[in-house]
Each structure stands twice: as structure tokens, then as C-alpha cells.
């Protein structure tokens, strides 16, 4: 398509894109780098949309090594620290692709806005298939994700200090059961404490009412409901993971019902228990997430109860580095077997059978769309 090639060639010298990502350790940063390459546009250092999550604002440089990022992306995409002077006073035109479903073309979707406004802020799609990118964009994605995104020296030093403080060997567990996540899931949990139920209700928006009846049953059986800490402990026991295992809890603030896990797995360590109070309190939310990411990538084993953005990054990075002890717990299997009335030893055996192949292989739900990172420009 010659007209498209000509338009993209024009973009490089005249337009700028800035990437907005929901938090620091997310695939949206990697996607944004690839999209900037697809559009042949200059990219300003990414920005984090964090106010909705942690009520604080930190910048790219607070977490990542800016000079390393620019150096490693050179030749793939042009990255600048600040907006060019001629457009620095303009508000960017916002393009939010998060709700785009299935396969869509960034060039067809975003390029018209970029040509018209010259300066856009882009939030990449959450579910876009990266293996469908052209090879030059794949190469840019891989370079940006796995080589360019490096923690800055201060954060990396703190992450190494945290890693060294954890007794070895250890398992890193990304456990997700915060009020906002449970509220967003629209799942009902009747056995929770009144404190947890109140927190969930406070986090629930008007359009996030609890599903009921057949809709709730189908939703849960599709694996859409987060595992509780006690359910997580049950599955780990079913997999034969000893209760004396050293476990680093990679989780944010506000985790509910944690006693259901720590009553069984008592050797649990967290950022707040291993770092000084002063260090922990003055950290940005993005910095805390970066520490969890670093520890999880370098752990002896990694288990997650949810396959979110951080999990996709951690499992992909561990796969790239040949670290095979990685497992994503199956919420769908747990829901289906409990709905069928299984409990106790029967449920434990069913959970072992459901995870057996992934557990023995040591790599559950590897990311096929990340296996194209052999491409180079």
C-alpha cells in the first residue's frame, strides 16, 4: 500500500507520540514502543497513569534508567526526553485503545489522529496479539521489553538488597485479592469477613454490581473470579509444596483475608517486613511494583494466582532467561471442580491433575506471542 508507506514516512519528521501506561511494570510500555515504530513516530519518554491506583505520581525516570532506555532503542525508534519546543505547549490529543477487542490495525486506527494533531498520547490495547506485528515492529517490541527497560541504579540496588534478604531457596507468589480487584471481578464471596465485604462494597462502582444466578455461575466457571488466599494455600498444598517453604509475597497494599494463607504457609516475607520502615514509606507505588518484579524474575520459583500484566512480563522474562519453575494457577479448574461438589482429598487430587503437566514441566502458560523475539533489524 504505497499511500500508507508515504504517510508513515511523513510522520517521522513531523509527529510525536507519548505512551501512557497503567503502572510501571506493564506490557503497555512494550506495546507502546512497538506502536511508535509502526507509526514511525518520535516517542517521548512514557508516562504512568497511576493516580487511580496509588494516589501518587512518579515518572519513568523514578523507576527506569532513562539513558539506557534511549541508547538501547536507538535505531529502532527515536526517543526524546522532552517534547520538541514547537509543540511543548500543546495538549496532546488522547487516543485510548484499551477497549479495542480482537485484532485491529494501529496504523488504520491511530495514524489519522497522529497526522491531524501531530502530538498524541496513546494508551495501547490490552489484548493485542503481538505475533501479528510486522517483523520490524516485533524486533522493536522485543528490544524495548527485554533489553531497554532496565531499573535505574537506585531502584536496582534496593531490589538487590531485598532479594539478598529473602531466605533461600524461595518461591515468589503474586497473590491478588485486593478490594478493587474483587469488586471489578463482579464475583460474590459469601465466606469473607465483614471487614473485607465492606472494603469490596466501598470499591464497587455503579456499573460493577455482583453477578447472580446463571450469569454468576458461568462467569466463575470461566475462571473470572480471583482465588482467595485460603484457596491459594489449598492448591499449593495439593501440588505438594511444603508448608515450610520460604515464600515472598509479591503483592500490593490492601490484600484481604491473608490469614487464610499465613495460617498454613508461615514462612512468608514481604517488602514491608524486609525493608526499613523509612525506605518502605517513602517509596512510590511504581517503585514497590518494580521491586516485586525484580524479585519475582530472580526467584527460585514463581507462582501467580492471576495472569495480569506483571505476570505476563515476569513469566515471559523468566522464559527468556531459561528459568523454568514458573506456574500460573488455574482459577477455571478450581471453580469447575468445586462447582461439581469436589472437596478435601478429591479436590486436591483434581487440582494436582489439572496442574500436573505444567507443574512437572516447570512452566505453566508460557507466552507463545513472546516467542518471536529472535527477530532483529
Q: Which domains are seen in the chain, by residue range?
A: 2-150 (no CATH), 155-177+226-370 (3.40.50)
Banded pLDDT at 297 (limits 50, 70, 90): very high
Q: Which of 273, 307, 306, 309 is nearest to 289 (CA)?
A: 309
Mean pLDDT, range 53-77, rounded to an integer: 84
Q: Which of 132-141, 193-202, 352-361 has the highest mean pLDDT?
A: 193-202
Q: Give the pLDDT confidence score for residue 193 in this predicted structure.
A: 96
Confidence (pLDDT) at 30: 84
Taking 70 as the threshold, does the pLDDT of residue 3 lie above it?
A: no
Q: Using 50, 70 and 90 to split pLDDT, how confident is the model at 50?
A: low
Q: pTM of the prediction?
A: 0.88
- Locus of grid cell 516485586: 292
pLDDT the model gives residue 47: 82
Task: Give the pLDDT band (50/70/90) at residue 2.
Answer: very low
Q: What's the whole-number mean pLDDT along residues 367-372? A: 48
Determine if the peptide bond prior to 326 is cis (ω within 30°). Answer: no
Extended strands (E) in 105-169: 119-123
- Left (φ > 0), alpha (ψ -120 to 50) or beta: where does 102 sit? left
Count H helices, E strands: the chain? 19, 10
Compute the mean pLDDT over every residue in the chain, rounded to the nearest whole number: 85
Tell the burial category of 86 from Cβ atoms under 10 Å away from its Cβ (0-12, 13-18, 19+): exposed
- How many other CB atoms are found less than 10 A from the CB of residue 209? 10
Query: How confident is the model over 13-24, as pLDDT tens digits?
Result: 457 888 777 655
List, for residues 195-249, the tens digit of each pLDDT value: 999 999 999 977 789 999 999 999 999 999 999 999 999 999 999 999 999 999 9
Q: What is the pLDDT of residue 373?
A: 64
Does the pLDDT at position 4 exceed 80? Answer: no
**Spatial contact of 113 and 74, defined as CB atoms under 8 Å apart:** no
Closest CA to 166 of 311, 279, 320, 291: 291
pLDDT score, position 161: 96
**288, 252 in Cβ contact below 8 A?**
yes
Beta bridge partners of 304: 174, 328
Q: How far is CA 274 from CA 43, 96, 244, 298, 300, in A?
A: 38, 38, 18, 17, 18
Amino acid at each position: 500500500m504505497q499511500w500508507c508507506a508515504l504517510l508513515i514516512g511523513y510522520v517521522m519528521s513531523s509527529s510525536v507520540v507519548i505512551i501512557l501506561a497503567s503502572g510501571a511494570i506493564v506490557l503497555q510500555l512494550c506495546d507502546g514502543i512497538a506502536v511508535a515504530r509502526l507509526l514511525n513516530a518520535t516517542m517521548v519518554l512514557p508516562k504512568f497513569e497511576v493516580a487511580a491506583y496509588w494516589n501518587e505520581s512518579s515518572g519513568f525516570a523514578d523507576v527506569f534508567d532513562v539513558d539506557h532506555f534511549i541508547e538501547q532503542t536507538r535505531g529502532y525508534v527515536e526517543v526524546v526526553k522532552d517534547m520538541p519546543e514547537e509543540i511543548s505547549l500543546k495538549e496532546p490529543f488522547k487516543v485510548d485503545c484499551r477497549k479495542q477487542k480482537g485484532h485491529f490495525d494501529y496504523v488504520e486506527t491511530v495514524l489519522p489522529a497522529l497526522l491531524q494533531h501531530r502530538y498524541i498520547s496513546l494508551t495501547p490495547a490490552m489484548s493485542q496479539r503481538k505475533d501479528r506485528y510486522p517483523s520490524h515492529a516485533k524486533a522493536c517490541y522485543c528490544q524495548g521489553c527485554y533489553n531497554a527497560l532496565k531499573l535505574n541504579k537506585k531502584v536496582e540496588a534496593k531490589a538487590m538488597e531485598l532479594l539478598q534478604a529473602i531466605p533461600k531457596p524461595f518461591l515468589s507468589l503474586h497473590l491478588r485479592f485486593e478490594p478493587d480487584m474483587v469488586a471489578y471481578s463482579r464475583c460474590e464471596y459469601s465466606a469473607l469477613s465483614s471487614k473485607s465485604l465492606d472494603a469490596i462494597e466501598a470499591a464497587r462502582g455503579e456499573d460493577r454490581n455482583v453477578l447472580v444466578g446463571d450469569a454468576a455461575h458461568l462467569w466463575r466457571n470461566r475462571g473470572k473470579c480471583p482465588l482467595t488466599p485460603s484457596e491459594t494455600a489449598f492448591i499449593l498444598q495439593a501440588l505438594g509444596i511444603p508448608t515450610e517453604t520460604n515464600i515472598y509475597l509479591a503483592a500490593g497494599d490492601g490484600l484481604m483475608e491473608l490469614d487464610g494463607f499465613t495460617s498454613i504457609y508461615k514462612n512468608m516475607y514481604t517488602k514491608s517486613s524486609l525493608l526499613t520502615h523509612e525506605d518502605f514509606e517513602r517509596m512510590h507505588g511504581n517503585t514497590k511494583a518494580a521491586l516485586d518484579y525484580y524479585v519475582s524474575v530472580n526467584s527460585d520459583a514463581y507462582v501467580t494466582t492471576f495472569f495480569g500484566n506483571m505476570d505476563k512480563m515476569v513469566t515471559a522474562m523468566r522464559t527468556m532467561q531459561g528459568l523454568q519453575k514458573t506456574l500460573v494457577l488455574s482459577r477455571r479448574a478450581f471453580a469447575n471442580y468445586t462447582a461439581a461438589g469436589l472437596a478435601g482429598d478429591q479436590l486436591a487430587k483434581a487440582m494436582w491433575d489439572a496442574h500436573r503437566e505444567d507443574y512437572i514441566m516447570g512452566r505453566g502458560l508460557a507466552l507463545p506471542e513472546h516467542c518471536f523475539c529472535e527477530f532483529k533489524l
